[in-house]
Amino acid sequence: MKKGLAALLCWLVLALPAAAGEVTGHFDLMDQNGRPVTDASFAGRVRVVAFGYTFCPDVCPTTLSTIAATLDILGPKAAGVVPLFITVDPRRDTPTHLKDYMEAFGPSFVGLTGPEDAVAAAAAAFHARYAIQPPADPADPNTYFVDHSAGIYVMDRQGAFVAKLGHRATPDELAERLEEVLRK
Amino acid sequence: MNRRSLLATAAAFAALSPLPAFAVRAEEGLFVHKERRLVPALDVRDGESQPVTLQGPALVNLWASWCLPCVSELPALDRLAPQIEPEGVRVVALCLDRSGNVGAINTFARLGVRNLGVYVDYQRKAGEVLGAAVLPTTLLMDAQGREAARFIGPASWDAPEAIALLRALAAGRTLDPAMAPPLAKPRAAL
């Protein structure tokens, strides 16, 4: 029994850091206009955050379209929400490139990039994971994929983590969640 | 390539380049439905914003101008249309852009697309209603307006396999995963 308890305690101690590892949502990056921004830059607004990259070589997730459709559902309330897209491919996703891309989803979309270590730190702050793969075409170093975890993060007006929705969440589901957070 | 060989190829690829467990990557290829389901009604508009009703048999390709593999695939669809439309299969490239027909018309002009009509997902509901989590996704709709199969990922739509597949669709024959057109090779970035 004692042994069992000790084992349980040991397991708890080992398991706790991972379980309690908070999604802080901190980042120190630059937007598609080249302006330096941090999570504090969006204080007072609810944030919807997704990670990804624009050079999807085979298929592209529709996550940002889902977020755009969600903002349409929210109507005027969407003014209280800022959609953030954090690239996991800062080498190819330059601010200039992100500027064109974000425009396709709507004027309020913010695309974030930065030095590789800053992007890695941002991903870690959201417990998002990514891995740059070898080039699909060995003759062309620019043909690499970036595998990354998917999902949509909701952070409240103070920037605290509220929820992570799956990448297949519908605009209605996301809108409902945001309505709750906006009411607080 | 049939389903089994597709899976085998995917497995071989995975063995060469182990995919991290956290990565979400869609399985690509042709998925033939055991039971065909009616394609839900969508608010589709043409280049003049006039409502259009989708009628089968048709290939309905969901694309967006921000999706590079989608854009890469459009020229093959443009070459396919004059070959298969006289046989009664419509080729519908349905644009999911927020800018609506502006995005579609500009992309077609840039690519020199001549044969494809402008179709716009006017309420921007197609992705959700049709359950397309990734683009490009292409539905094969039969003469009764039911989805017989879908292809996930970019395909060589003007390849002989694709034409044979669409002929089978038009003839009302049972489709087989072995009828899949070849996946288009990942495009070179930039």
A39 within a domain of the structure (yes/no): yes
Residue A61 domain flag: yes
Min Cα distance A64 → chain B (Å) is 11
Indicate the residue of A143, A149, A171 with minimum beta-carbon distance to B189. A143
Q: Judge whether A92 is closer than 8 Å to chain B, CB to CB.
A: yes
Between CA B59 and CA B90 the distance in angstroms is 6
Residue A54 lies in a domain: yes
B136 conformational bin, left if phi > 0, alpha if psi -120 to 50, beta if neither: beta
Q: What is the pLDDT of residue B74?
A: 97
- Which chain B residues are within 8 Å of A66, Cβ to Cβ? 127-128
| Nearest partner of A164 among A156, A173, A153, A174, judged by Cα | A153
Task: Name the nearest CA neighbour of B168 among B72, B40, B30, B54.
Answer: B30
Whether residue A7 is contained in a domain is answered as: no
Number of domains within chain A:
1
Is residue A171 in some structural domain?
yes
Q: Give ipTM to 2 decimals.
A: 0.81
Per-residue pLDDT band for B22 (boundaries 50, 70, 90) equals low
Percent of chain B with pLDDT over 70: 84
The answer, yes or no, to whether residue A47 has pLDDT greater than 80, is yes
User: B171: which 2 tokens?
Assistant: 């003839």
**Domain for residue A13, yes or no?**
no
- Note the pLDDT tens digit of each residue in B114-158: 999 999 999 999 999 999 999 999 999 999 999 999 999 999 999
Which one-letter amino acid corresponds to residue B160? P
CATH 3.40.30.10 for domain B27-179: yes
Give the torsion sign (CA, A41, A45, A50, A54): negative
Alpha helices in chain A (DSSP H): 2-20, 63-74, 95-103, 116-125, 171-183
* Boundaries of every domain in chain B: 27-179
C-alpha of A181 from chain center: 17
CATH of the domain at A68: 3.40.30.10
Report the predicted TM-score, pTM, of the whole model to 2 decimal places: 0.84
Out of A57, A147, A170, name the one closest to residue B23 (CB): A147
Residue at A14 is within a domain:
no
Looking at A129-133, A137-141, A170-174, which range is the least confident one?
Answer: A137-141
User: In this predicted model, what pLDDT tens digit does every residue of A152-166 receive, in sequence order?
Assistant: 999 999 999 999 998
